[in-house]
């Protein structure tokens, strides 16, 4: 998945002050946050699988997909828009 961001010249200059490679820094920031979210979802889903006495899928990808399909989690946008 590719995302495009836009920085002002000031934001770019400031980021270059703290990051050796800004593209790599942005990529790492996004993938690290996603990794944390995956771990959060897996923890929640494993608890749900155990409560339901169901078999836990073998990979994190399958667990995250099952958490969505079972309705145990929703996107942040959905949760915000449907409060």
pLDDT at 32: 98
| This prediction's pTM | 0.87
| Radius of gyration of the CA atoms of the chain, in A | 18
pLDDT at 83: 85
pLDDT at 29: 97
pLDDT per residue over 44-79, tens digit each? 999 999 999 999 999 999 999 999 999 999 999 999
CB 15 within 8 A of CB 7: yes
Please name which of 77, 65, 67, 68 lies closest in space to residue 43, comparing C-alpha atoms: 67
> Can you state the angle between helices 22-51 and 9-18, rounded to 10 degrees?
80
Residue 11's pLDDT band (boundaries 50, 70, 90)? Answer: very high
pLDDT at 3: 93
């Amino acid at each position: 998945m590719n995302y495009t961001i836009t920085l002002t010249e000031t934001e770019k200059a400031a980021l270059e002050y703290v990051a050796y490679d800004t593209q790599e820094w942005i990529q790492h920031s996004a993938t690290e946050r996603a990794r944390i979210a995956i771990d959060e979802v897996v923890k929640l889903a494993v608890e749900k699988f155990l409560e339901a006495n169901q078999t836990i899928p073998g990979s994190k990808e399958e667990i995250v997909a099952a958490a969505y399909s079972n309705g145990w989690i929703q996107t942040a946008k959905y949760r915000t828009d449907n409060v």
